[in-house]
């Protein structure tokens, strides 16, 4: 029903910024909660940030709180992740996910639809 597609990844120096975007062609995307997760080599996928369907509620992991901002535009059917003050440990493949009525916004298993991921590499 929903096919998220991520974009905006790349290589950036520590302290820099990147803005990731998650887009979906289906207009039903506006009714879905969305989350950003990341996975580094040899590590499990971890929660980064999430936003409810309306954008009225946001959630962040402790490691990114104050540096990352999640937002959505339900007219354009997009979800963005603004990443500031990037650190080397932020290096990972970032995935956008969507869920209709998630039981828990911070758990990967609660999401039904996933993008292919976009690589973010932060150099020290």
pLDDT by residue (tens digit) across 18-51?
Answer: 999 999 888 888 889 999 999 999 999 999 999 9
CA 96, CA 73: separation in Å to the nearest integer? 15
- Please state, as a whole number, how many other Cβ atoms lie within 10 Å of the Cβ of residue 30: 17
CA 47, CA 60: separation in Å to the nearest integer? 8
pLDDT by residue (tens digit) across 48-83?
Answer: 999 999 999 999 999 999 999 999 998 899 999 999
In sequence order, what are the beta bridge partners of 82?
19, 69
For the chain, give the number of residues.
124
């Amino acid at each position: 029903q929903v096919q998220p597609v991520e974009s905006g990844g790349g290589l950036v120096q520590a302290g820099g910024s990147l803005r990731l975007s998650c887009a979906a062609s289906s207009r039903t995307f506006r009714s879905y909660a969305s989350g950003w997760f990341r996975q580094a080599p040899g590590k499990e996928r971890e929660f980064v940030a999430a936003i409810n369907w309306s954008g009225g509620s946001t959630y962040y992991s402790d490691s990114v709180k104050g540096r990352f901002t999640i937002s959505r535009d339900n007219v354009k059917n997009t979800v963005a992740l603004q990443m500031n003050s990037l650190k080397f440990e932020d290096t990972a493949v970032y995935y956008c996910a969507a869920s209709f009525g998630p039981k828990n916004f911070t758990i990967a298993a609660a999401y039904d639809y996933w993008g292919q991921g976009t690589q973010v590499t932060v150099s020290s």
